[in-house]
Amino acid sequence: MTDPIADMLTRLRNAGNAGHRRVDIPLSKIKIELARILAENHFVHGYKVLDDGAFGRLRVYLKYTPEDRPVMRSLERVSKPGLRKYVDTNSIPKVRAGMGIAILSTSNGVMTGREARRRQIGGEILAKVY
């Protein structure tokens, strides 16, 4: 697999469109951080790290509106292995006029664009979610 972050976003998108309540994803530290940010910003109910005896799994519990539509309407991978996208503090995009989030990988860890702007640091834009 050349892009595990894109794989995670695709699994979340597909599970939401299929109406699943949870999705299991192969485990990595950056995926745990992405799930933490999605949970803190109320795009998912939560997540759990499962030990399957080998590499581990990340279980993400999806969130739906009262009309049974996924809360995450769009998950878009921005920086890709073939073309990395880096921004400084002044160039961090606002997603849907602040209704969505940009997820950045910075020198201080993975955080939202809002948090990176507040701390005055730039980084690699991993994804946009709304």
Q: Which pLDDT value is given to residue 87?
A: 98
Q: What is the pLDDT of residues 38-89, one digit of tens each?
A: 999 999 999 999 998 889 999 999 999 999 999 999 999 999 999 999 999 9
Specify whether 42 is located in the same domain as 15. Answer: yes
DSSP-derived 3-state class of residue 28: coil
In a domain, 67, yes or no: no
DSSP string, 72-116: ---EEE-SBTTB--EE-GGGPPPGGGGTSEEEEEETTEEEEHHHH
Give pTM, 2 decimals: 0.95
- Domain boundary, last residue among 37, 62, 87: 62
Q: Quick one: CA dihedral 9, 13, 14, 19, positive or negative?
A: positive
Domain count, the chain: 2
| Full domain range(s) for residue 24 | 4-62
In a domain, 68, yes or no: no
Indicate the residue type of 80. Answer: K
pLDDT band at 1 (very low <50, low <70, confident <90, very high): confident
Specify whether 41 is located in the same domain as 19. Answer: yes
